[in-house]
Amino acid sequence: MTKYIEGFKKYRFLLRELVKKGIKLKYRRSYLGIIWTLLEPLLTMMVLTLVFSTFYGKNDRSFPVYVLTGRLLYSFFSQGTKTAMKSVRGHAAMIKKVYVPKYIYPLSSVIYNFIIFLISLIVLVGVSIVLGVYPNWWTLTAVLPLLILFLFTLGVGMILSTIAVFFRDTEYLWDVALMLIMYTCAIFYDPSRLMKTGTDWVFRLNPLYALIKCFRDAVYGASMFSEPYWFFMPLCVSIITVIIGFGLFKWKQDSFILHI
């Protein structure tokens, strides 16, 4: 871990440039540019609200906030892991020419997606105020699930970036896995209805759903610590995932040059 920290200090300029490059490339051919970061979740929220409000309850005025909180967190996890997965092979030319710590590439991918995600939260603030979901002191705790989400995304991204170097089909398999994860995150439906059928284990084993639940509680001004499991489970899973991710990456990184 000390080696990673020293490498981070030495190559922090490169990391900063890679983050800037990632943000610029994402909106390179878009007329709206960074504004699309605000429009995309807003338009998606409107569509999901229109389609699923009948299942959740038409009288719930704050339903768009419910949808948006889940959609934003899932979108960051999805984009962050996918770009991290492709980052090593995407920088094959640079890796073959000069030496830099290879973990810089998946790390920069997750960071620039996290920055874009934070910008998109402006939409959530605006929608919440318009619909009467006002912040209180508990809302400040929303920072905690966001930080844990960053760690979890980084850990999963490191694991995927390592595996994808050796198995190219990982990209296609992960797309299928993300679809499954999305439907078990209760983005646009009330999970309490399913929990009554004895399928609550699906949610209890999903750290991303737990983080979305904690974040929603904070946005709605409630305590996320009323049921400690939903906070500490994803925290422990995220720490373990980061350790495994960096360990696996370090173990296999010397073999990357032979497969990229």
In Å, what is the CA distance from 225 to each residue of 52, 105, 174, 248?
Answer: 29, 35, 32, 33
- Closest to 69 measured CA to CA, from 189, 234, 219, 221: 219
According to the model, what pLDDT value does residue 240 have? 97
According to the model, what pLDDT value does residue 34 have? 67
Rounded Cα distance between 25 and 18, Å, is 10
Find out whether 85 and 161 touch, Cβ atoms under 8 Å: yes
Q: Which amino acid is at 147?
A: L
| Burial class of residue 115 in the structure, from the number of CB atoms within 10 Å of its CB (0-12 exposed, 13-18 middle, 19+ buried) | middle
Rounded Cα distance between 58 and 157, Å, is 38
Domains of the chain by residue range: 2-258
pTM for the structure as a whole: 0.90
Question: Which positions ≥6 away from 162 have C-beta within 8 Å?
Answer: 88, 245, 248, 249, 252, 253
Find out whether 130 and 37 touch, Cβ atoms under 8 Å: no
Question: Which positions ≥6 away from 138 have C-beta within 8 Å?
Answer: 217, 218, 221, 222, 223, 224
- pLDDT tens, the chain, 260 aa long: 566 666 667 778 888 888 888 888 777 766 666 677 777 777 777 777 777 766 555 567 788 899 899 999 999 999 999 999 999 888 888 888 878 888 999 999 999 999 999 988 998 998 889 888 888 899 999 999 999 999 999 999 999 999 999 988 899 999 999 999 998 988 888 787 776 666 778 888 899 999 999 999 999 988 888 889 999 999 999 999 999 999 999 988 888 887 77
